[in-house]
Amino acid sequence: MSEALVFAFILLALLIGYLLGRYRSTATKNVKGTSGGWPQKRYYQGLNYLLNDQPDAAIDTFISALEVNSDTLETHLALGNLLRRRGETSKAIRVHQNLLARPSLSKEQLHLAQIELGVDFLKSGLLDRAESLFRELVEAKNVSKPLRAKALSYLLEVYQDEREWLQAIDVADQLTAKKFSGTPDQWREMQAHYCCELAGNMLLTKELLEARRWVRNALRYDKNCVRASLILAQIELTDLAPAQALIVLRKIPRQNPKFAPEALQLIYECFQQLQKPAERVVMFRDIYREHHSLPVLNYLVEAIAQAQGEDEVVDLLLQELPAFPQMEAAGELLKVVSENKSQWVGFNYNTVKGVLEKLTAARCQYECSNCGFRGEQLHWLCPSCKSWSSIAQR
């Protein structure tokens, strides 16, 4: 069902709710012997706006006229949510603030409206206001368990957006408690990423002991956290311990094979520090046999060029490029070069290397398995759907 049709149905629900609410109010007054009446002017004004394709004005009119009670609460909430999805967060805020101003609603209903208002603030970027509302619900004593869990999950999102990783870890700890233990693994995976954020910050400032501590915490939360392993390998390289870094990097395909390409550059740097070019070629050949891809081929070519010379590179590429139809241009270039070996040395090798790198980069696209977001670099947190570890090379 299209959003426009949903919007029309909600407006219709507002009309019906309006009529029912006024009818109930009028009937009650008549029973008591008082005079009732239809506020026909406002009703027809709202209907006129709707028929003249002015839904915003219709909403304003009906909201002001529609009584807020248990019967109409769902209609108000549905309207506010739809406005928020349409990007009209200021209108959604008005709808939900209107609900909170009604003392006739029960505590549970007011808490529900407060959650929705907090989400409005969150989506509007008013993080301090959203944090205040969610924190108030979390700390209140009379909030139901489902609503408290929902408030905690939104509070976690606030701290993610604010990059307040310590607070985020604390909130996730609350969500993994027994009373909220429905999906503890989800929260622990997120906590591992929060620890990685802190470890990465420590690594940038060369505080290696602190960086190691946060990596250990990350792996305690999630032993298969590839990001933690990559950061630990970077720490070892910074600490001039390339052999230890290689031990860590070899574990990554077992942790999560889809992130194996992220270890290639670090593996190359490890052998660079070890000054073992021949062993680097052996390892990249092994990796290429397991992962027949352009990024691995690119590193293998570079390793062979440094260890065995450019002629070996020509032979390898002429053998492997036919397996990649998208590399026809580079294949033709290599054929021309191989016909005249005297032109291969120096300039032509760099030319072919540049072509190979460009074609590899063009193929190296990242995609979110959750929402389909695409980009040219790895984001551990998807910018679109805000899911962790969902983006990998296509």
Average pLDDT over residues 363-372: 84
Rounded to an integer, what distance in angstroms lies between the CA atom of residue 273 and that of residue 280?
11
Poorest-pLDDT segment among 61-70, 100-109, 175-184, 243-252: 61-70
Rounded CA-CA distance 39/19 in Å is 10
User: For residue range 195-221, what is the model confidence (pLDDT) as tens digits?
Assistant: 999 999 999 999 999 999 999 999 999
3-state secondary structure of 242: helix
| Confidence (pLDDT) at 363 | 59
Round the average pLDDT of the chain to a whole number and report it: 80
The pLDDT tens digits of the residues spanning 52-102 come to 566 666 666 656 655 666 667 777 788 788 788 888 888 889 888 888 887
Helix (H), strand (E) at residue 131:
helix 127-139
Judged by DSSP in three states, 367 sits in strand
pLDDT band of 135, cuts 50, 70, 90: very high
Task: Give mean pLDDT, residues 234-246.
Answer: 96
Q: φ and ψ at 197, to 5 degrees?
A: -60, -45
Task: State the pLDDT confidence band at 336, using cuts at 50, 70 and 90.
Answer: low
CA–CA separation, 394 vs 167, rounded Å? 34
Give percent of the chain with pLDDT exceeding 70.
70
Nearest residue to 97 via CA among 124, 256, 208, 71 = 124
